[in-house]
């Protein structure tokens, strides 16, 4: 959780620091904004190239290497003497984030049995909202009063703290498992990378859930990108209500810390489908309610709750699709997420310019409705298997091939 908080804060904190960094390097804000694209692109690349190593070597080693490279990249950013060094640091930190985040999700899949997994995954997912609600304001405050380099310095110290406690991470005895835990490692026999990745992607329901992830994140980031602008049009650029409204969304997203346990009880596939269906009217409701403060606040908070549940459950269900290929599958999940985030703004910016915020909301709702249909189909396909493989293993079953 602390590791994801660190990489999430580094991804998000650049925005309020752009002006100061541009002044420091004697360049423009537009040039420094490219560091966001560099981070996102290398995160997607790192997920695809390095996260699968956890399946073949060691999940713990992959986590440790990822955090060590993250520290190195962040330190480079803190001490950069020019834009070239700064961009190199951002690229290293992005590669490390791409390796660390899906491996952390896979580690949860290894260590925590299926019936408790959504609760634990919800705790990890809530780290992203904490990065938005706490990490970015703190980083911005530090950058304002002590200099932007100190922001990266503090993030590197947090990375050192995370790295120092990793050797003590271990599996324990979890409730309801009779003392049995799914082993951390399930190394794959030596085969080519492409063949291994193909096997992982073609595991049952994986293509549907990966595509659903891409569509959900495309719809989310497509609307979220223009939310701040729409709120400033509504309240004015100097009105604090803009920040309050975005904060309400972040607080709703942080609810995954709690809501994951209910998904464990009510059924992950069922809750995912209903949550996706609930996102559709929420995405239309935000632009429709933009002129009414109280209903908009409720809608934004509800959007955050539903979005956090969807992200939690997609990562949880993908982690359960195959034990042997768990890290590779979650690398595809991370790749789909980052490509969608990068594409969301670019794809919907012309629509926003030509037709406004409501048109973007309708488009994002339509995209999410397709994801809901995919989730429903995958949920129906899951009913053909009476019990997920990891549940039977968590109850003491033998370990064979993935079903």
pLDDT(319) > 90: no
Distance CA 297, CA 24 (A): 38
Distance CA 162, CA 331 (A): 21
Phi, psi of 61 (to 5 degrees): -65, -40
Of the candidates 216, 204, 159, 173, which has an alpha carbon nearest to the alpha carbon of residue 368?
216
Say what the pLDDT of residue 93 is.
Answer: 92
Instruction: Work out the mean pLDDT of the chain and round it to a whole number.
Output: 76
Other CB atoms within 10 A of residue 163 CB: 18
Say what the pLDDT of residue 27 is.
Answer: 84
Dihedral sign for Cα 342, 343, 346, 351, please.
negative
- Residues 92-105: what's their mean pLDDT? 86
Say what the pLDDT of residue 320 is.
Answer: 72
Say what the pLDDT of residue 32 is.
Answer: 78
Architecture per CATH, 201-394: Up-down Bundle (1.20)
Per-domain boundaries in the chain: 2-167, 201-394
Say what the pLDDT of residue 181 is.
Answer: 39
In our burial notation (b when 16+ CB lie closer than 10 A, e otherwise), range 66-102 reads bbbbbbbbbbbbbebeebeebbbbbbbbbbbbbbbbb
DSSP state of 356: -
CA distance to 80, 119, 172, 207, per residue, from 15 (Å): 18, 31, 40, 33
Phi, psi of 322 (to 5 degrees): -160, 125
User: Greater confidence, 4 or 265?
Assistant: 4
pLDDT(306) > 80: yes
Topology of domain 2-167, CATH: Growth Hormone; Chain: A; (1.20.1250)
Say what the pLDDT of residue 198 is.
Answer: 67
383 Cβ contact list (under 8 Å, min separation 6): none
Common-topology check for domains 2-167 and 201-394: yes
79 Cβ contact list (under 8 Å, min separation 6): 85, 149
Helices 206-235 and 293-319 sit at what angle, rounded to 10 degrees?
160
pLDDT tens, residue by residue, 165-195: 887 765 443 344 333 333 444 444 544 555 6
Say what the pLDDT of residue 254 is.
Answer: 75
In our burial notation (b when 16+ CB lie closer than 10 A, e otherwise), range 358-385 reads eebbbbbbebbbbbbbbbbebbeebeee
> Residues in the chain, how many?
403
Residue with tokens 């955050």: 304
pLDDT interval class at 105 (50, 70, 90): confident
Residue with tokens 């709120």: 231
Say what the pLDDT of residue 386 is.
Answer: 44
Say what the pLDDT of residue 382 is.
Answer: 58
pLDDT tens, residue by residue, 33-51: 677 778 877 887 887 777 6
pLDDT(69) > 90: yes
pLDDT(85) > 50: yes
Radius of gyration in angstroms for the set of CA atoms belonging to the chain, rounded to a whole number: 21
CA distance to 32, 214, 226, 371, per residue, from 285 (Å): 34, 22, 14, 18
pLDDT tens, residue by residue, 226-281: 777 788 778 775 666 776 787 788 788 777 666 666 666 677 788 888 899 999 99
CA distance to 51, 136, 329, per residue, from 97 (Å): 10, 17, 16
pLDDT(221) > 60: yes
Tell me the whole-structure pTM to 2 decimals.
0.67
Say what the pLDDT of residue 131 is.
Answer: 78
In our burial notation (b when 16+ CB lie closer than 10 A, e otherwise), range 181-206 reads bbebebebeeeeeeebbebbbebbbb
pLDDT(395) > 50: no
The pLDDT > 70 percentage for the chain reads 71
pLDDT tens, residue by residue, 329-383: 777 887 788 777 767 666 777 888 788 889 989 999 999 999 998 888 877 765 5
- Residues 101-110: what's their mean pLDDT? 79
């Amino acid at each position: 959780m602390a590791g994801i908080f660190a990489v999430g804060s580094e991804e998000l904190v650049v925005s309020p620091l752009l002006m100061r960094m541009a002044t420091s390097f004697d360049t423009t804000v537009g040039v420094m904004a490219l560091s966001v694209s560099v981070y996102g692109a290398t995160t997607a690349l790192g997920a695809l190239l390095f996260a699968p190593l956890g399946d073949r070597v060691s999940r713990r080693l992959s986590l440790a290497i990822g955090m060590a490279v993250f520290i190195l990249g962040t330190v480079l950013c803190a001490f950069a003497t020019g834009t070239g060094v700064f961009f190199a640091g951002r690229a290293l930190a992005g590669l490390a984030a791409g390796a660390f985040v899906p491996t952390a999700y896979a580690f949860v899949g290894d260590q925590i049995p299926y019936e408790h997994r959504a609760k634990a995954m919800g705790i990890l997912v809530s780290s992203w909202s904490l990065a938005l609600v706490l990490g970015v304001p703190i980083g911005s405050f530090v950058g304002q009063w002590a200099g932007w380099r100190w922001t990266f310095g503090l993030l590197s110290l947090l990375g050192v703290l995370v790295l120092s406690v990793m050797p003590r991470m271990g599996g324990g005895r979890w409730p309801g498992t009779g003392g049995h835990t799914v082993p951390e490692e399930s190394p794959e026999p030596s085969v080519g990378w492409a063949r291994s990745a193909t096997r992982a992607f073609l595991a049952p329901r994986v293509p549907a859930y990966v595509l659903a992830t891409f569509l959900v994140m495309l719809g989310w980031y497509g609307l979220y990108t223009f939310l701040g602008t729409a709120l400033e049009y509504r309240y004015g650029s100097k009105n604090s209500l803009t920040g309050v409204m975005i904060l309400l969304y972040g607080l709703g997203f942080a609810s995954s810390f709690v809501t994951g346990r209910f998904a464990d009880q009510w059924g992950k596939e069922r809750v995912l489908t209903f949550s996706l269906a609930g996102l559709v009217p929420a995405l239309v409701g935000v632009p429709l309610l933009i002129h009414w403060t109280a209903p908009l606040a409720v809608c934004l908070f509800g959007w955050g709750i539903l979005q956090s549940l969807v992200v939690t459950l997609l990562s949880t269900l993908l982690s359960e699709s195959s034990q042997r290929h768990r890290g590779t599958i979650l690398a595809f999940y991370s790749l789909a997420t980052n490509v969608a985030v990068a594409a969301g703004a670019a794809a919907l910016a012309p629509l926003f310019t030509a037709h406004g915020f409501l048109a973007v909301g309708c488009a994002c709702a339509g995209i999410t409705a397709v994801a809901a249909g995919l989730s429903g189909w995958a949920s129906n396909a899951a009913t053909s298997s009476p019990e997920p493989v990891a549940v039977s293993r968590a109850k003491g079953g033998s370990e064979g091939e993935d079903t």
